[in-house]
Amino acid sequence: MKNNAELIEALKQIVKEKGIDEDIIFEALETSLVTACKKDFGANYNVKVVVNRETGEFSCFIQKNVVEVVEDDSTEISLEDARLISPSYEIEDVVDIESTPKDFGRIAAQTAKQVVLQKLREAEREIVYNEYVTREKEVITGVVQRREGKNIIVAFGKTEAVLTPNEQVITEEYTPNERIKVYVNEVKQTTKGPFISVSRAHPELVKKLFLQEVPEIYDGVVEIKSISREAGARTKIAVYSNNPDVDAVGACVGQNGHRVNAIVNELGGEKIDIIDYSEIVEDFIAAALSPSKVIDVLLEPEEKVATVIVPDYQLSLAIGKEGQNVRLAARLTGHKIDIKTETVAVEMGILEPYEPYEEEYYEEGIYDNGDYEGAEDYDREVYEEE
């Protein structure tokens, strides 16, 4: 009895330390002991095991159905025999007949050890799953642990997540013990425990970082209407203010750029263009091509195609390095964008000739430290939303 009591005390201590419901442990222990008992009695027998959670005593019962005529004495008992046990029994009642094996205590102790280890693993996995499944589509901070093949393992306390190659940013190195913020793509339960997939490349990572950094977005005063990203290189984000007294772009940039710079630093120097969203599609497209200046936008709304005319000297800026600027603008606005210089537009007759522009030079903005050289060598084409 002393050993049983010590076993129960040890079980309760374990479940307390691990934060596991003790009912889970005891029910699993009783189920496992039922299996052990059936090896003695036979698989046909209905067996019930009860564990006294205070004294640690184990009791084993064979359960039999009360019937008028017994056809299988392993599972049935006559009404007459049942009433010898208790006069209150009726037909279809179930009688518990105690049949605890002599060495049941030893069996119980061995089984308890196995059950506890198994249930601890299962319960810990369930706790982890329940904790992180509610954090899907959120940003959390982790620590880079190690590489496993091409995967990066990121730890959150005692829990680990997987950063697969597709969710990594090519310009990032992921040094062990480095703290990084990741976007939780998916949490699913597997036979080996919870599988947590995270991302550093998802556009939502940038969106959530702005949500954390900009109170006006968190409060709903400023909305993020659209976002397009080429991870590690550049992001374009369109914002709108629901309050005419609040400048959406200014709120996102912050005083002296400290808000957007905090996000840029977290993203390893990724460039971020913040633009004003407009319900007027032509204005939105023109803004999306920032920092390039735009003379006119000719829209074909049904086809969602826009012909954008820019000054000749702004062509490379509008296209961007390897077409990046116009490609991101197309994704941001959801329109195909065909860029034409003013000279070509005049020659095609879609723009009236007028006096040449005085050349204006783009002054780099606080939230745009772009690099557009090389765009003039890029083969211009119509870019579609991807």
Cα–Cα distance, 183 to 153 (Å, whole number): 14
Name 180's bridge partners. 142
State both tokens at 307.
């012909």
- Rounded Cα gap, residues 114 and 119, in angstroms: 9
pTM: 0.68
Q: What is the dihedral of CA 151, 157, 158, 164, to 10 degrees?
A: -10
DSSP summary character for residue 103: T
CB 217 within 8 A of CB 252: yes
Which among 233, 257, 230 has a CA at the least distance from the CA of 330?
A: 230
Question: What is each CA distance from 7 to 35, 77, 116, 121, 356, in whole angstroms?
Answer: 20, 35, 11, 19, 92
Tell me the pLDDT of the chain (386 aa) as tens digits: 445 666 677 777 777 776 677 777 777 778 877 877 777 777 788 888 887 777 767 788 888 999 988 888 888 999 888 898 888 999 999 998 888 777 666 666 677 667 667 777 777 788 888 888 999 999 999 999 999 999 999 999 888 999 999 999 999 999 999 999 999 999 998 888 889 999 999 999 999 999 999 999 999 999 999 999 999 999 999 999 999 999 999 999 999 999 999 999 999 999 999 999 999 999 999 999 999 999 999 999 888 999 999 999 999 999 999 999 999 999 999 999 999 999 998 888 887 776 554 444 434 333 444 444 444 444 444 444 44
